[in-house]
Structure 1
Amino acid sequence: MRVIVMVKATAASEAGEMPSEKLLADMGRFNEELVKAGIMLAGEGLHPSSRGARVRFSGSKRAVVDGPFAETKELVAGFWLWEVSSMEEAIEWVKRCPNPFEGDIESEIEIRPVFEAEDFGAEYTPELREQEERLREQITARHVKS
């Protein structure tokens, strides 16, 4: 199963405070463990929401809302995409993770399963599955060339 592992933002990350060399090294070692275990598919840190935007949908209308966004605890500061055997395995890996923020800052990491094709049922027709597979192949081919 694939899971997205989201590091929740803090006031410090939203203020643009960068991690120390020690924290970057600790996270680098943790990422190496994930890669060696065959779990990590992707992972990145995100800039503060002040550098982002949201597009709000209301029927056929679209409205762009520029950051920053008020609810820091609801924002994401970074993420991993992992392939694990179970939610329990993902939880065990997160428990081994260095605290993503230094000092006495309380932080949180959220784990959520990624939808797989079989989760969508009959509505996900063979034609839609074929289209999805074609798109994934194109993405992979594009990244192999880079």
Structure 2
Amino acid sequence: MRYMMLLRLDPAKAPVEGPSGELMEEMGKLLEEMTKAGVLLDTGGLRAVEPGAVVRQVKGKQTVLDGPFSEAKEVIGGYALVQAKSLEEATQWASRFLAVHGEEWEIEAEVRQVEEPE
């Protein structure tokens, strides 16, 4: 089964300088381990919200909102798509993903199974 990990954080609580070199090195090691284990299908970090946009549809009418999104308390900072045998296994990988960030980051992962044909 495939699971999507959506990594959310509050930009106001993230380190101003962004991810450290040490964090990136540890993340690289974890991603290599996940790849060798056949778990990691895709991953990526998302850029700041300033150049982003939201396309919203209400009752068939669409509106495009350009960033930054001052009302957003949390943003999706990245994602990982994993192949796991169960939600428990996917959650364990998500836990390791978050642990790499250390104590200075307030971050969470929403883990959800990808809808697939039976």
Does TM, scored on the shorter chain, surpass 0.5?
yes
Please identify which structure carries the higher helix content.
1
- TM-score of the two chains, using structure 1 as the length reference: 0.71
The structure, 1 or 2, with the larger RCO (C-alpha pairs under 8 Å, 6+ apart) is 2
Unaligned runs of 5+ in 2: none
Determine if contact 1:27/1:98 at 8 Å carries over to the other structure: no
Determine if contact 2:15/2:104 at 8 Å carries over to the other structure: no
Unaligned runs of 5+ in 1: 119-146
Please identify which structure carries the higher strand content.
2
- TM-score of the two chains, using structure 2 as the length reference: 0.86
Change (3 A) 1:4 1:42: same
RMSD of Structure 2 on Structure 1 (CA): 2.2
Aligned to 1:65: 65
Change (3 A) 1:62 1:17: farther
**2:105 is aligned with 1:105:** yes
Change (3 A) 1:30 1:15: closer
Percent identity reads 36
Please give the alpha-carbon distance, in whole angstroms, between the structure 1 residues aligned to 2:98 and 2:28.
Answer: 10
Please give the alpha-carbon distance, in whole angstroms, between the structure 1 residues aligned to 2:68 and 2:16.
Answer: 11
Change (3 A) 1:2 1:34: same
Please give the alpha-carbon distance, in whole angstroms, between the structure 1 residues aligned to 2:17 and 2:27.
Answer: 16
Aligned to 1:4: 4
